Amino acid sequence: MRVLAVGAHPDDIEILCAGTLLRYAQDGHDVSMAVATNGEQGHAIIEPPELAEIRKVEAQASADLCGAELFWLGFPDEFIYHDHDTRMRFIELMRQARPDVVITHNPQDYHMDHRIVSELVFVSSFLATVPHVITASPSTTVNPPLYYMDSLAGANFVPTEYVDISGVIDRKEAMLNCHQSQTKWLKDHDNIDVLEFMRSQNRFRGLSCSVPYAEGFARLDAWGRNPVTRVLP
């Protein structure tokens, strides 16, 4: 299969679903990671233009650890809107990635960028199949199943499916640790150890399905999107 994960910011994917992407890659599937915004507002000292470049390099390093293709959309952090041009860019993303399954933010997540990206992924993954919607790439033929990933700390999210990531948790941490502009800043400035934060959440999800570490997902239940077999690893 071709698997696409779409996050609003650099490091969202690593925190919330990178273990599942590593499992997909282990099983021989093609994995892509798309980052919608450039994360330029994610620091109080580094200026936004410089930080945007740093975060792109960090995102590429993380994708390389997973063997994933990186799509960097480059929208401004905190200022992505669901308008015509943005929707068309997401349709083109779907046509470039041509996914058989898509993972993105859940529509009730805490951050408006996350919610906007969730909406954009929902609509664009369908519109990518409509041939008279014209973009640079040809239309797709698959309306892929869509899985919503966990929210930070599991707030307002009830998983319906789990993926055992116990065997790849260290590699997931290495992917997240590529984002040094965030891991170091959050620890120094806010006393948040985001690596421990991630492990704690995945340990909690693991308790729900009797494994050491797990990631939780909720499949979009909609006509045309429900596979008859499990597609998560």
Is residue 140 included in any domain, yes or no? yes
Is residue 197 included in any domain, yes or no? yes
pLDDT tens string, the chain, 233 residues long: the values are 999 999 999 999 999 999 999 999 999 999 999 999 999 998 889 999 999 999 999 999 999 999 999 999 999 999 999 999 999 999 999 999 999 999 999 999 999 999 999 999 999 999 999 999 999 999 999 999 999 999 999 999 999 999 999 999 999 999 999 999 999 888 888 899 999 999 999 999 999 999 999 999 999 999 999 999 999 99
| pTM for this predicted structure | 0.97
CATH number of the domain where residue 156 is located: 3.40.50.10320
Is residue 226 included in any domain, yes or no? no
Q: Domain of 48?
A: 2-219
Is residue 130 included in any domain, yes or no? yes
Is residue 225 included in any domain, yes or no? no
Q: List the 214-219 sheet strands across, edge first.
A: 69-75, 30-37, 2-7, 101-105, 146-149, 214-219, 161-164
Instruction: Report how far residue 188's alpha carbon sits from residue 45's, in angstroms, rounded to the nearest whole number.
Output: 12
Total domains, the chain: 1
Is residue 230 included in any domain, yes or no? no
**Are 55 and 39 a contacting pair, CB within 8 Å?**
yes
Alpha helices (H) along the chain: 12-16, 18-26, 48-66, 84-97, 112-127, 169-177, 180-190, 194-209
Is residue 74 included in any domain, yes or no? yes
> What is the helix (H) or strand (E) element at residue 179, kind and residue range?
none
Is residue 113 included in any domain, yes or no? yes
